[in-house]
Chains A and B, each alone.
Chain A
Amino acid sequence: MAVTDIQISICGSAGDGTIAAGDILKTTMARIGYRVIAFDLYPAEIRGFGKCISRTRITSDQVYSMKQQSDVLVSLDDGHTIPHVGEVRDYGAVIYDSFPITMLPEGGHISGHIKPGQIPYGLPIREISERATSSSRSRNIVALGFVAGAYGLPADAFRETIAAKFKTKAASVTEANIAAFDAGYEIGADTFRLDFVSFSEPPETKVEGADVVMMSGNAAVARGCLDAGIDTYFGYPITPATTIMERLASEMPKQGARLLQTEDEISAIAATIGAGYAGARAATATSGPGLALMAEMLGLGVMAEVPAVVIVSQRGGPSTGMPTKTEQSDLHLAVFGGAGDAQRIVLAPTNVEGCYRCAGKAFEMAERYQTPVVVLMDLYLSNRLETVNLPRVSPFAAGLSKDVEADTPAGTYQRFAITDDLVSPRALPGQADRMHTVTGLEHNESGRPSDQAAVHIEMSRKRHEKLKAALDHPDITICKRFGDEGPVDVGLLCWGSTFGESLEAMMKAQDEGIRCSAMKVVMLSPLPLDRILAFFEDCREVLVPELNYEGQFANLVTAATGRPVHRLNQVTGMPMRVEDILERIRALAAPPSRSAAE
């Protein structure tokens, strides 16, 4: 377990600079050398005084999820923060303004809601801000300074981050913010602390050949695309995938690559497929509703064996659903969506570093296996910030398309020739003597439309079986088991971001003496069936936790293995709670008579 493991929540109104304070905290702690994982809550409306919560978990060892309970809560707006007081653990701290401007009715001040086990720290934040900067706008920075001072965090590192953050503004802005920070810091350092929150020394950050960078899942995806040498991006704005396109819009031209915002998702995927056909490394990103629109085109990509990368960040559904909430309910769509037997490769990263890796590897796989590849993530991963080890040199390979043999005589080339590995040599437009047409109709090896039974059977086999090689694609973990080896009482079979919470639940269960193991499945199509079946062999009970109502991954696994599983399905719009998974593990670990499979 981590030596330092502190989660700090800052809660306020949209205009309070809540997120900005959280950003400074995350950036500074990452720079000092801690591992950071953070997830902010934004108000759904663009304007107004909606609630913002910035949560940052700071650890010395790598962790995989946010904690259900925070150690420190800062209130920049009592009205918004009061409902969240319960999230601070016993002997954690609640920090607030002890001198609001107006007289409040009973219950209007957070001090009346602090639980018996929590430690209150009140300081006149607004007054301090006004004294230090002649304005109350820096309350968030004062509070941040108080936290830094109270817990003995290095002030210089914070000042550097503040200076960098405001460097495009007037010098007076930076000065004011530093003055506010210092004022809060001084008071914090002098405060006699009664909470049990402490930071140990940050760990050494050196990782061979990599930089430790804090980034969001979307930023990691964009970075993965760039490092894999993306040539074209066509996309349409949709929450929560939009920022992938926005980042690439700035970065791709610097690499000589081309990005275009299309008129809709269908155009986006169509252009991606067209570009892939012509030899480009092409990608698009969307969410569930967009993926639904793209389904027909994905099928074309599968049928015509065209490489394409489709990033999907799932959000609450169905239909327009809950655009700013997270969910994992597009698995069926990603794996099966589209007319006919249109199997494609689907990768589901489990953390931010996985988003980087799966995005880059998706281009490799699309090119090598000549198929669309879906990278399936979710809003939690898209918006979550984590410290990741980013390789300095791109780890992704280029030029994996199987070329046509140079001595192939003109006029004899067959685009869909059946080969040993079922992947045909691929000619690209512009290459002499290799002309051919690809189509969405069923076709023979030459690509000519054909509805003959023998042709359809053979081509169906080709398109499905060639993908199995992806299970052995180099340098990507498609499936991995953690925790106790050998036979266990309870096995967690997980995918996507839920793996993080599951892993923490598994570790807690192990601490309680339960034999427990967790397996993350990154490649959802094709499924690594052998490894999953071996996992089933070792587990007395298998639990599949996921954020959807129907148990989509459970359905997939049960159908593929014929084995029953227990389901933990949640549709809260928020990440799954470690406690809920742990409770289920305990129930399943109890004597067998009480845990019949569902």
Chain B
Amino acid sequence: MSSRMHHVIIGNGVAGDQAAATLRERDSDSRITIVTAGTLLFTNRYKLPQVFAGKTDWREYLVHPPSYYEERDITVRRRSVVIRVDPDRRVLVLQHHEEVGYDRLLVAAGGAAYLPEALRESAHLLDSFATFRSAMIARERLPDGGTLIMLGGDMIGLDMARTVLASGYRVVLVPNERTFWPHQVAAEELPDYLGALERSGIEVVRKGPVERLEEGAAGRPDRRLVFADGSDLEGDVVMAFCGLVPSLGFMHGAGVDIERGLLVNPELRTTNERIWAAGDVCQIWSEEEKGYRFYYGWKNVKMMGEVAARNMTGDHVQVDTFKDEKLVIDAEGRIDSPYWRYD
């Protein structure tokens, strides 16, 4: 292939998108390839619940039009699943039997939804807003004025619940230990925060642990949640928002250190000098805390994409993370969070 420097980014989310833009700004000559398993270009997933408001043309969710990538000569390889990374030969191996070489690699594959044990068997009965496709399917399945049951309720989910409520649907929250993730909420504060949610229109069901999820019987709503105490809760669509776990299965055997996420230094470089990581997939060394930790939120992730890109092109900047991680109740008594800031 060409002799130009090849920057490869795994993941087409906020971090990957920012990294690609920064890479192109700083290096007009190199090849830049984003590798993603999805079919669409970078979409704003936080807006996907607007399908319920009738915005069903996915082009409205694109953050950049196709011409953006053409103008910047950024290749977006879609429907490309990375199976593994070979750091010696410096290639990615793709599921469709193609090898892609890299000079610099940025792993920005983000996180996948975490599912509690009890729900794993019935995962096929869950809907989500992870992709446009899943959002459209959920829309098909949710009748007018229907009920969305949210399990857990992490900040991503609660953000989306606001849009769903505004579109005239009923949202019922079944909280668990992951409610308000990634915020850490003390047990004694929980009732206040749940109360704030109720004031915003979300119904909160306090029935203890979920035992299982099943399809509803004929003539009943499509989904039935059964609790340990035998009671049940019916709804049309059930979604799990129990936080994220890093997507890094393909990095096993790549010779980089992994704990729960890819371990990186404050310059976001892994233990391999050609591989960086950014976003929900990595744990960054914190000198203060003397340990590796995750940083979440749109602003943080975007900043990480930029930092990684700068360092991939010769710079040595460190992350400057947004440290205000407090969950608040605002003047109207409603929940607010710094994780809900998107520009």
Contacts and interface: CB of A to CB of B under 8 A. Distances in A.
A and B touch in the complex (CB under 8 A): yes
A103 B98 contact: yes
B40 A111 contact: no
Contacts of A116: 41, 66-70, 74, 76
Contact of B78 (A91, A102, A111): A111
Given A192-B133, A194-B39, A104 B78 contact: no
Interface size class for chain B? 20 to 34
A90, A112, A115, A120 interface centre (most CB from chain B within 10 Å): A112
B100 interface: yes
Interface string A92-106: 000000111111111
B101 interface: yes
Contacts of B1: 106-107
Interface in B50-86: 58-59, 65-70, 74-80
Contact of A99 (B40, B97, B132): B97
Nearest to B1: A106
B136 interface: yes
Interface in A2-37: none
A103 B94 CA distance: 9
B290 interface: no
B99 interface: yes
B22 to A, nearest CB: 18
A194 B100 contact: no
Nearest to A106: B100
B323 interface: no
B97 A100 contact: yes
Is chain A's binding surface mostly helix, strand, loop or mixed? loop
A53 to B, nearest CB: 23
B96 interface: yes
Contacts of A117: 65-67, 70
A119 interface: yes
Nearest to B132: A194
Contacts of A104: 97-99
Given A106-B1, A116-B66, A120-B78, A99 B96 contact: yes
B70 A122 contact: no
A112 B77 contact: yes
A192 B136 CA distance: 10
B66 A106 contact: no
Contact of A109 (B65, B69, B97, B136): B97
Given A107-B1, A194-B39, A112 B97 contact: no
Contacts of B97: 99-104, 109
B101 A106 contact: yes
A112 B99 CA distance: 11
A85 to B, nearest CB: 12
A201 B92 CA distance: 45
A71 to B, nearest CB: 16
Given A100-B96, A107-B1, A112 B75 contact: yes
A271 B101 CA distance: 67
A108 B91 CA distance: 14
A108 B95 CA distance: 14
B52 to A, nearest CB: 18
A122 B96 contact: yes
A98, A106, A116 interface centre (most CB from chain B within 10 Å): A116
Contacts of A102: 97
A114 interface: yes
B262 to A, nearest CB: 24
B79 A112 contact: no
Interface in B1-55: 1, 33, 39-41
A5 to B, nearest CB: 20
A106 B98 contact: yes
Contacts of B70: 115-117
B94 to A, nearest CB: 8
Nearest to B102: A106
Contacts of B75: 112
A90 B59 CA distance: 11
A110 to B, nearest CB: 10
Given A103-B99, A105-B99, A115-B66, A120 B79 contact: yes
Nearest to A124: B96
Contacts of A91: 59
B39 to A, nearest CB: 6
B336 to A, nearest CB: 35
Contacts of A111: 77-80, 96, 98
Interface in B144-184: none
B338 to A, nearest CB: 32
Contact of A114 (B33, B59, B78): B78
Contacts of A105: 98-99
Contacts of B96: 98-100, 109, 111, 122
Nearest to A105: B99
Interface in A257-296: none
A99, A101, A102, A117 interface centre (most CB from chain B within 10 Å): A117
A111 B78 CA distance: 7
A61 B142 CA distance: 39
Nearest to A96: B96
A194 B62 CA distance: 13
A105 B98 CA distance: 6
A202 to B, nearest CB: 26
B293 to A, nearest CB: 35
A272 B33 CA distance: 65
B58, B77, B98 interface centre (most CB from chain A within 10 Å): B98
B241 to A, nearest CB: 22
A62 to B, nearest CB: 30
A431 B78 CA distance: 79
A259 B66 CA distance: 58
Contacts of A115: 66, 70
Contact of B98 (A101, A108, A119, A194): A108
B248 to A, nearest CB: 22
A122 B94 CA distance: 13
Contacts of B40: 194
A75 B129 CA distance: 32
Interface in B101-142: 101, 132-133, 136-137
12 contacts: A91-B59, A98-B79, A103-B97, A105-B99, A111-B96, A112-B33, A116-B67, A119-B39, A120-B78, A122-B96, A194-B58, A194-B132
Given A99-B97, A194-B40, 12 more contacts: A90-B66, A98-B96, A101-B97, A105-B98, A106-B98, A107-B1, A109-B94, A109-B97, A111-B96, A111-B98, A112-B75, A116-B70
| Nearest 8 interchain pairs by C-beta | A117-B66, A116-B69, A116-B66, A109-B98, A104-B98, A192-B133, A106-B100, A98-B96
